[in-house]
Amino acid sequence: MICKILVVDDSATDLFIIKNMLKDFLCLSARDGEEALEMLRYDPDIHLVILDLNMPKMNGFEVLEILNSDSYFKHIRVIILTNAEDVEDEIKGLQMGAVDFIRKPINLNALKTRIDVHKKLLELQHDTEDANKILDRKIAEATKALVITRDITIQALVGLIEVRNLESYNHIMRTQEMMSLLCNHLKGKKKFKNVLTDEYIQELVKTSALHDIGKVAISDSILLKPGKLTDDEFNQMKKHVDYGVIALKKELPEGEEVPSFIKRALEIIEFHHEKYDGTGYPKGLKGENIPLPGRLMAIIDVFDALINERVYKKAYTVEESVKIIKENIGKHFDPDVATGFLEIVPQICTINTLYTQR
Residue 355 CB contacts under 8 Å (≥ 6 apart), including other chains: 170, 173, 174, 177
Task: Give kind and range of the element (H or E) at residue 285.
Answer: none
- Residue/partner pairs of 122-125 with CB below 8 Å, 24 or more apart: 122/1, 122/3, 122/47, 122/48, 122/77, 123/1, 123/3
Of 209, 180, 202, 102, the residue nearest 347 (C-alpha): 180
Of 203, 147, 160, the residue nearest 180 (C-alpha): 203
Angle (CA) 70 28 78, round 5°: 40
- Alpha carbon 250 to its chain centroid, in Å, reads 28
What does the DSSP 8-state code read for residue 329?
B
3-state helix, strand, coil in the chain (%, to 5): 60, 10, 30
List active site positions.
Answer: 215
Distance of alpha carbon 289 from alpha carbon 45, whole angstroms: 58
- Alpha carbon 343 to its chain centroid, in Å, reads 28
What does the DSSP 8-state code read for residue 165?
T
- Alpha carbon 199 to its chain centroid, in Å, reads 6
Single-letter amino acid code for the residue at 126: H
